Structure 1
Amino acid sequence: MSSLLYTIDPPGPNGQASETYHYSQSVTLPSGIIKVSGQGGWDSSHSFPSDMKSQIDLAFANVDRVLQSHGLRGWEDVYLWRSYAVGMDEAMQYLVPKIRERVPAHRPVWTALSVPRLGLEEMLIEIEVEAFAPPKRE
């Protein structure tokens, strides 16, 4: 891998997924952009609740966890997000109020995709984000 890229795999369920499936949870580009792999609605034991709302709550929290491992605030630093849902009608009923609640002060760009299935059979939602980490002042 390029020495200009910096990956982070935070401990806990995010890191467990990285180890199991051989991918990184996030990468920082030289421009200060942080790309976060799709975060599913898994809990601390890497289990999935059976309902969409709970999985969305957990996916949002998992995004926060990865961004905070980079020293960011979390969703406040997100400028772009993509959601992938099995059952978009149900997901939209909760995704819209959730993003409004989470970042009321700005509107990140968003692409919402309906898919027949995600990486794991239990997954109903997956959220991928990009955020900006301003350069640190010395």
Structure 2
Amino acid sequence: MSEVIDRTTPTFHVTPGYGVTARELLGYSQAVRIGDRVETSGQGGWNDDLVVAEDLEQEIVQAFDNVGRTLAEAGATWADVVHVNSYHKAEPGAESIGDGHNRVMVREFRNRLGGRAPVWTQTGVTVLGLATMRIEIRVTALVGSAG
């Protein structure tokens, strides 16, 4: 007899470390999975104590690492990602997000996606959840879609 899998009931996932803190303090989960679809909340470049890296490049790399950790909790990987939203706090007076952000974002996409090119929406913002944040990344993944 084969097992019947419920593809409609959401399961919520909390990343160990910072995710537990966010759940306790702010009442939200880091990811939700419904069937093969995983949606993450925005992931910043923070450590488990919610301290944001001072260097922009390190902050972006840590945000990518945190997306990976959160996806893993929900049974997905970067290889399953089909959509990325990134939110960037640009320098005051800047007319665009800038090469400092884009250079690292593109490098990390290439390092983590193995040639896959998901859709990507970049948005410039004036503030993010923590005062020291300059980047936040949220993704949608379809488990098994990497083929």
Native 8 Å contact 2:84 2:140 kept in 1? yes
Q: Equivalent residue for 1:104? A: 114
Among 30, 34, 41, the residue aligned to 1:37 = 41
Measured after TM superposition, the shift of residue 69 of structure 1 is 1.1
Structure 1 length as normaliser, TM-score?
A: 0.87
Native 8 Å contact 2:19 2:29 kept in 1? no
Measured after TM superposition, the shift of residue 105 of structure 1 is 2.2
Structure 2 length as normaliser, TM-score?
A: 0.82
Deviations 1:104-136 (A, max 9, x none): 3210110011111111101110000000124xx
1:62 aligns with 2:66: yes
Among 113, 116, 126, the residue aligned to 1:116 = 126
Letter in 2 for 1:131: A
Among 32, 41, 50, the residue aligned to 1:27 = 32
The runs of 5 or more residues in structure 1 that have no matched partner are: none
Residue correspondence of structure 1 range 75-86 to structure 2 within 5 A: 75-86=78-89
Q: Equivalent residue for 2:135? A: 125
Q: Equivalent residue for 1:9? A: 14
Identity of paired residues, percent? 35
Deviations 1:80-111 (A, max 9, x none): 01100111212112111111121132101100
Aligned-pair Cα RMSD in Å: 1.7
Native 8 Å contact 1:81 1:129 kept in 2? yes
Native 8 Å contact 1:79 1:130 kept in 2? yes
Q: Equivalent residue for 2:5? A: none
**How many residue pairs end up in the alignment?**
131
The runs of 5 or more residues in structure 2 that have no matched partner are: 1-7, 91-96
Question: After the TM superposition, which parts of structure 1 deviate over 2 Å for at least 4 consecutive aligned residues?
Answer: none
Measured after TM superposition, the shift of residue 24 of structure 1 is 1.1
